[in-house]
Amino acid sequence: MKREHSDGAAGLAAAARRDGTPAAMAGPATEAILALGTRHLYPTYPRPGLVLEKGLGCRVWDTEGREYVDLIGGIAVNALGHAHPRMVAAIADQAGRLIHCSNLYHHPLQGALAARLAEISGLPRVFFCNSGTEAIEAAIKLARARARARGEEGRAGLVALLQGFHGRTLGALSVTSQESYRAPFEPLVPGVRFVPPGDTEALRRAVGPDTAALLIEPVQGEGGVRFLEPAFLAAARAACDAAGALLVFDEVQCGLGRTGRWFAFQEHGVMPDLVCVAKPLGGGLPLGALLGSEETAGILGAGAHGSTFGGGALACRAALEFLAVVEEEDLLARVRGTGQRALAALRDLAAALPAIREVRGRGLMIGIELNCPAAPVVAALRGRGYLVGSCRGEVLRLLPPYTIDPGLLEQFATTLGSVLRGETA
């Protein structure tokens, strides 16, 4: 405490600039915001000293008035960009009617949203929650309750993939393989087996009569933007059918239009029993959902699971509007077209630059694997006005809004080339 006081606001703000952003880049107002956060927030997020205060379309502005092209989109949340006029109007209108009434009562929007999600997914049952992690928790609980309801007391096990990411609560973390996320919190939920993605034999061995559910991201997002092979997904379906286990697809990051289809699994025609979605669903408001087959309908009975905020009126209204905009503006086709142009530009760049090992992508879910650490490249791109993410140390991750102008992504490819060649701006 004493030390922090003697360091003063500037010291705290400097501590917040973990990426070494030069002090000259931040004015006193920005410094004060950073200092407060450093003093009072748990330092869970290693982040640069960048304070965003405004967004419009695919662009955001920081407190210093600098403009950025937002290619990470709130980690796949801002699928319609920032301040989309229809989202702003729908949220404002609903805020004036009913924001929240809890799940003690009905409101007019939950059923309507569930029906729309059922229509686009082919899964007729929906449980609403507030995040991707909570959707995973619901899936795990449902899978266990199903086993118990069938008198299969021994069927409590879970199978997941190495390099997968499903969230940070104890259940979701238990099916997330990354050691550094898990170690401080052990013991986690027992009975979880991990299988290397793509290893069909290992998958068949792991899924058995004690397996309640197999959880898979059809595209591993945090795991480096890795697209699982259709044959592996089909083998997952077959293994679950043979063992009597539920197949859960985690489409929290890759779902709801990101890959140019409503769901990534629809590309390959492998139908899961449960699907978890969140991120873009609420148009920036927290909303997650577990979508399930009719066979699972009776399992989460009265009182079996719940959430105070889940499926709130405001979030549901935003979600209905988000889904309507995607449909009416034909954004799935646009995502596919824009993604193709972006991938072509990035692959041309990769062919000319050994610093790029591989470009992976479908629609607007794009990973650029480098031959060097991604963090300094992310920082350099920020300096040139582009916000991008990174994962697994050497992969740049792009999750831009579905509405982005393809030309912006081509310009980004040019800038990335310049950064990787070490040219000065």
Of residues 133 through 192, those in contact with ligand PLP by CB under 6 A are: 133, 136, 165-167
Whichever of 147 and 391 has its CB closer to ligand PLP, that residue is 391
In the complex, minimum distance from the CB of residue 115 to ligand PLP, in angstroms, rounded to a whole number: 23
In the complex, minimum distance from the CB of residue 401 to ligand PLP, in angstroms, rounded to a whole number: 17
The CB-nearest residue to ligand PLP is 132
| Tokens linked to 323 | 């889904």
DSSP assignment of 10-44 equals: HHHHHHH-TT---GGGS-HHHHHHHHHHHHHS---
Q: ∠ CA(378), CA(276), CA(78), 5° rounding?
A: 40
Whichever of 217 and 394 has its CB closer to ligand PLP, that residue is 217
Whichever of 21 and 78 has its CB closer to ligand PLP, that residue is 78
Whichever of 117 and 136 has its CB closer to ligand PLP, that residue is 136
Question: 209, 154 in Cβ contact below 8 A?
Answer: yes
Q: Which of 250, 267, 273, 321 binds ligand PLP (CB under 6 A)?
A: 250
Of residues 43 through 82, those in contact with ligand PLP by CB under 6 A are: 75
Q: How far apart are CA 411 and CA 408, in angstroms?
A: 5
In the complex, minimum distance from the CB of residue 251 to ligand PLP, in angstroms, rounded to a whole number: 8
Helices then strands, counting H and E runs in the chain, come out as 14, 17
Q: Which of 38, 94, 110, 131 binds ligand PLP (CB under 6 A)?
A: 131
Of residues 331 through 370, those in contact with ligand PLP by CB under 6 A are: none
Sole window of 205-213, 215-223, 355-363, 373-381 interacting with ligand PLP (rule: CB under 6 A): 215-223
Sole window of 19-27, 248-256, 327-335, 404-412 interacting with ligand PLP (rule: CB under 6 A): 248-256
Q: Which of 26, 239, 278, 291 binds ligand PLP (CB under 6 A)?
A: 278
Helix (H) or strand (E) holding 158: strand 157-161
| Tokens linked to 69 | 């092209």
Q: Which of 62, 217, 267, 369 binds ligand PLP (CB under 6 A)?
A: 217
Whichever of 132 and 367 has its CB closer to ligand PLP, that residue is 132
Q: How far apart are CA 333 and CA 338, in angstroms?
A: 9
In terms of Cα–Cα distance, which of 43, 323, 362 is closest to 227?
A: 362
In the complex, minimum distance from the CB of residue 168 to ligand PLP, in angstroms, rounded to a whole number: 7
In the complex, minimum distance from the CB of residue 171 to ligand PLP, in angstroms, rounded to a whole number: 12
- Say how far residue 169 (Cα) sits from the centre of its chain: 15
Q: How far apart are CA 334 and CA 121, in angstroms?
A: 20
What's 82's DSSP letter?
Answer: B
253 binds ligand PLP (CB under 6 A): yes
Q: How far apart are CA 416 and CA 42, in angstroms?
A: 33
DSSP assignment of 247-261 equals: EEEE-TTTTTTTTSS
Residues that bind ligand PLP (CB under 6 A): 75, 131-133, 136, 165-167, 217, 221-222, 250, 252-253, 278
